[in-house]
Structure 1
Amino acid sequence: MFCTLDRPGKGRGRLLLMLALLAVPSLALAEGNVLTLDNALRAARDNNPELAAVRWDIDIAEGERRQAGVLPNPELGWEVEDTRSGKQTTTVSVSQMFELGGKRGARLDVAGRDADIAALELERQGNVLRADVIAAFQAAVQAQEGLQLAEQSLQLSERGLQVVQGRVKAGSASPVEATRAQVQVSEVRLERGRAEQALTVAYQQLAAVTGAPMARFDSVEGRSDDDAAVPSRTVLLERLEQTADMRLARLQIDQREAALALARTQRIPDLTVSVGSQYSETDRERINVVGLSLPIPLFDRNQGNILAAARRADQARDQRNGAELRLRSEVIQALAQWGTANQEVSAFERSILPSAQQAQDTATRGFERGKFAFLDVLDAQRTLVAARLQYLQSQAQRNEARMRLERIFGDLDLASR
């Protein structure tokens, strides 16, 4: 980009505009320290090594499918009879094996099932990764809120200490109360330290699940599921058969059945046809040679592999039934946990937290006026801090229940419609 400075004022204006444009990326970089949920999900899809490893299974299955359809290679043979000079008989032949009994088609069927399983496994792993990212993201949000609450509690305790120290100087309170207030401040500072450590751990776990070796963000900012309604139990159970887990379980039955069909085709022997030319030095004559060979299935009829394949198919059916029972139980438990956590969160927001805050404010004002003892203030502070921590735990329980369902159904908003 070039510009001509026709006039001093005009050139100065263009220069300022260019400097402003150059400053835009630095502002975007500064804002990039805040990680959003959408960016975290995008980074996980692009960089998570476990999901990347699962993606390779699709190419692996495609390679195996191609190999399953390849015909056997012909064989070139060379044979010499009687090594004495002038009496040798030399035979050159080409042999080709022909698979009988539909072996090639059965192999292609098995390979096709394997490719379908690889695609479904990628979908299932994508659902699990999405739920893990959201869970780690929500845990980071919870850790941020926990640190904020710890800092608020510290400010509250320090204010109480200042009030006590003022009353001790005025001679209206015992120095013992100042000691108690100092102990309370020390305890809350330790809590804040633990909250800072929990936040560091949560950030690192979020970075790991998105495929980053370390957290390169300073905070997280994402959606809030506070208003999300508990999905209908009937709707989710009806759609259980459509989940990736159940489709994968059914497809594994089909794959085992295809493997059983392939094992049965192995009972039929393959035919080998050979065509060649034989030259005799004794007779000075060349003759054509045609041969057929066919194994006699006298002892090995692949009976052991057929039995094993049949039992694997039965095993896959039992595994499918077990997966359905497990998923049904998981859905019912997660919905119950979500409903209970929702009630707890509502109770905290509606009455418990406001009442605890009001009790703490009343106790502090009453202590300042000499109406309450400092033990009452400590009691109110501890009650408020405990209520806030329990409120965070209830939110965490609700998020955990939602993520349990997200791992099964994928995007729960779409699954519950």
Structure 2
Amino acid sequence: MNIQNLLNPIWSLVPSVLMLGCATSISNSYDHRNGTTEKMPQLNPTASISDQGIEMELQYSLEGYLEYAALQNAGLRSKFSQWKAALERIPQVYSLPDPKFNYGYYISEVETRVGPQNHRVGIAQTFPWFGELGLRNDKASEEAEIAKERFDAEKVRLFYQVKAAYYEYYYLGQAIDITHQNIELLKNLEGVAQAKVRAGSGIGGVMQAQIEIGKLEDRLKTLNEMRLPVLGKLNVAVGLEIENHLPMPKTITYSPVSIEWDLLSSFINKSNHEVKRLKHQVKTRSIDVALAKKQFYPDVQLGVDYIATGESANPGISDSGKDPVMVMFSLNIPLWYGKKRAALAEAEHQYHASIADLQNSRNQLNADLKMALFEFQDAERKFILYQTTLTTLARNSLNVARESYEGGRVEFSELIDAQRLLLEFQLSYERARTDHEISLAKIERILGRKLPQPLQMEGSPKL
């Protein structure tokens, strides 16, 4: 008997052995290319992210930097690839183990009444206990959701990093311009003091002006030297080379975004990606508990063996040379209960730990939100104060001090004090304006979503 004839009967039995597994798979199929199951929401990784990034033109604006970072940042691409990898794991865990094929050749033929047994071939399929494959599928689906939330959280974190770096770069540019303007102002005041010297006054005013000019020139040099490290943060966040040149923003849009603050905490529970990730983690741990309980039940193995039998040496024997077919059933015995109880206890402890992690994360995020709200309101108050009152008063005070100095009614030191106050208020105004936008970006990072605009905060002044 040749090998082909020997194997033909066993191949004809393979479909019936595997039918049970196929039926199980069809009942809850998973299309991992589209990322859908009957039990989980659709997961469609955005096609705009690629493994190596894509070529695109950079727009020199905050929106342009955010768009570029979303497509080019290496850290975000890494999280995206991890999400895609997690999706590809689902069809792996929801498949049956590979069937086992076995072949045996009798070196010493076994003589039977109907003839000598020459070869033995068989195939067997192992089936996990009822429901185990479904639990594994659910766990892999939850892990894919966890990877998705990690990707979304990284995107939110990246956008905050880009915004914070962009606003700091803006503030640096404004500080340089304001300092340069005040140097020119002091030089003008120095000219006024020199005119007083020519008229017979003392030289003290000129010296004071030169000292203040020297101090501001040193500050200006420091600010200019800060440009590279501040720009480097923006470049890294956007996904550019660290020494790439980007123009300094000339202005930023003031965002009078406000809302009833008691609603923000509910936003954390609904949209914060860390909270959503931990919720899926709790579900994953609960599935681990269910899987640990399944270990107390056996796995079942079904198989078919075919034995090739030669013709009997005794003539006239009925069924001479008939090939027997044997159906096999086996199962493993979950005997070592101590090990399985420990695995179940471990899964339960991990489940309770995940619940505690979720609660701790909510508490920490609420505390962070309260601090971010304080920073937002404090920056908004200062921004309005400097914009509507203090800067104007300081500029008027400087004009009055200059007229008084020219008229000989005050010393030059009072003129210098007025100039210092104006410089301080101008820088404080831009600092408050920058902090306002950074704190708003921080709130959006904590909430995991962009706040709708414009909204009026309860109790907030209207602009």
Q: TM-score range by the shorter chain?
A: 0.7 to 0.9
> Aligned-pair distance for 1:167?
2.5
Of residues 302, 306, 316, the one that matches 1:277 is 306
Describe the superposition over 1:166-201 as per-residue Cα deviations: whole angstroms up to 9, x where unpaired.
333333122x43222212111101111222233433
Please say if 1:316 is aligned against 2:354.
yes
Please say if 1:145 is aligned against 2:174.
yes
The 3-state SS of whatever aligns with 1:155 is helix
Give me the whole-angstrom Cα distance separating, in 1, the residues matched to 2:125 and 2:105.
21
Matched residue, 2:403: 365
Cα gap change, 1:166/1:415 in structure 2, threshold over 3 Å: closer, same or farther?
Answer: closer
Please say if 1:298 is aligned against 2:327.
no
Structure 2 unmatched ranges of 5 or more: 1-56, 314-320, 457-463
Equivalent residue letter for 1:74: P
Give me the whole-angstrom Cα distance separating, in 1, the residues matched to 2:157 and 2:251.
19
Matched residue, 2:386: 348
Matched residue, 2:317: none
> Aligned-pair distance for 1:299?
0.9
The 3-state SS of whatever aligns with 1:59 is helix
Q: Say if 2:258 and 2:454, in contact at 8 Å, map to a contact too.
A: no
Higher fraction of helix: 1
Matched residue, 1:39: 64
Matched residue, 1:233: 261
> Aligned-pair distance for 1:66?
1.3
Matched residue, 1:21: none
Equivalent residue letter for 2:234: L
Matched residue, 1:17: none
Describe the superposition over 1:75-118 as per-residue Cα deviations: whole angstroms up to 9, x where unpaired.
12233566699999643322211222321111101011112222
Please say if 1:190 is aligned against 2:218.
yes
Q: Aligned ranges for residues 118-137 of structure 1 at < 5 Å?
A: 118-137=147-166
Aligned length: 384
Identity %: 20
Q: Say if 1:230 and 1:338, in contact at 8 Å, map to a contact too.
A: no
Matched residue, 1:288: 325
Cα gap change, 1:306/1:85 in structure 2, threshold over 3 Å: closer, same or farther?
Answer: closer
> Aligned-pair distance for 1:129?
2.0
Cα gap change, 1:211/1:96 in structure 2, threshold over 3 Å: closer, same or farther?
Answer: same
> Aligned-pair distance for 1:33?
9.1
Q: Say if 2:110 and 2:118, in contact at 8 Å, map to a contact too.
A: no
Matched residue, 1:209: 237
Structure 1 unmatched ranges of 5 or more: 1-31
The 3-state SS of whatever aligns with 1:240 is helix
Of residues 441, 445, 451, the one that matches 1:412 is 451
> Aligned-pair distance for 1:165?
2.7
Matched residue, 1:334: 372
Cα gap change, 1:222/1:181 in structure 2, threshold over 3 Å: closer, same or farther?
Answer: closer
Q: Aligned ranges for residues 66-105 of structure 1 at < 5 Å?
A: 66-80=91-105, 90-105=119-134
Cα gap change, 1:105/1:147 in structure 2, threshold over 3 Å: closer, same or farther?
Answer: same
Equivalent residue letter for 2:282: I
Give me the whole-angstrom Cα distance separating, in 2, the residues matched to 1:112 and 1:387.
55
Structure 1 stretch displaced more, 363-372 or 399-408:
363-372
Matched residue, 1:243: 271
Matched residue, 1:18: none
